[in-house]
Amino acid sequence: MHFCPHCGAPLTRKIPEADDRPRFVCESCGAVHYQNPIVVVGAVAESEGRILLCRRAIEPAFDKWTLPAGYLEIGETLQEGAARETLEESGYHIVDPHPYAITNIVRVNQVYIMFRCALGDRVAAAGRESLEVGLFTPEEIPWQQIAFRSILKTLELYRTDMEKGSYPVHLFDIA
């Protein structure tokens, strides 16, 4: 961040009055520009013991498998975002989403909020972000080809919870 998005003047890095950490401040118009972590929403969508995965058609982790997920957009709830991302990346609707895994990935300023849900109807082909989609039992999941550590951990937790038949909300950090 170098220039004020409001007025175009160069920005200064300083601690504003009544604050305690450096921000991007515009000395020209007085605006303070905060930067905050971004929310990623997604779904662990299950149908009769099988979990929906998408094989990524984009970098990073091209060709690896992942749960459908992406950035929460302005104007939508977390659960709407999870449904949108699942639809976009797999063509499937989701049904009855519940909070499931909350993940801090501080290194990249992201918070993941993954919902467990039932898989609904398939209404479209996989989107341009996916090479293919598939439904996998825990045994069938390509465990060595999962895209991200946060997704791998979420799938591992879900596999254990399927065995127990109990699905508490999980909170974990990826270092």
Q: Which is nearer to a second copy, 33 or 160 (CB)?
A: 33
Closest C-alpha among 140, 143, 86 to residue 115: 86
Q: Which is nearer to a second copy, 76 or 132 (CB)?
A: 76
Q: Minimum distance from CB of 141 to a second copy (Å)? A: 25
Three-point CA angle 162, 168, 170, nearest 5°:
105
Q: Which is nearer to a second copy, 28 or 134 (CB)?
A: 28
Closest C-alpha among 49, 38, 35, 40 to residue 1: 35
Around Cβ 25, how many Cβ atoms within 10 Å? Answer: 20
Q: Where are the alpha helices (DSSP H) in 30-131?
A: 78-90
Q: Minimum distance from CB of 140 to a second copy (Å)? A: 29
Burial class from Cβ neighbours inside 10 Å (0-12, 13-18, 19+) for residue 117 reads buried
Q: Minimum distance from CB of 48 to a second copy (Å)? A: 25
End-to-end CA distance of the chain: 26
Q: Minimum distance from CB of 99 to a second copy (Å)? A: 5
Which residues of the chain form contacts with a second copy (CB under 8 A)? 1-8, 10-11, 18, 21, 24, 33-39, 71-79, 98-99, 102, 104, 106, 109, 111, 113, 128, 169, 171, 173
Q: Which is nearer to a second copy, 61 or 78 (CB)?
A: 78
Q: How far apart are CA 19 and CA 119, in angstroms?
A: 46
Q: Minimum distance from CB of 35 to a second copy (Å)? A: 6
Q: Which is nearer to a second copy, 136 or 167 (CB)?
A: 167
In a 13 Å sphere around the CA of 156, the CA atoms on its Cβ side amount to 10
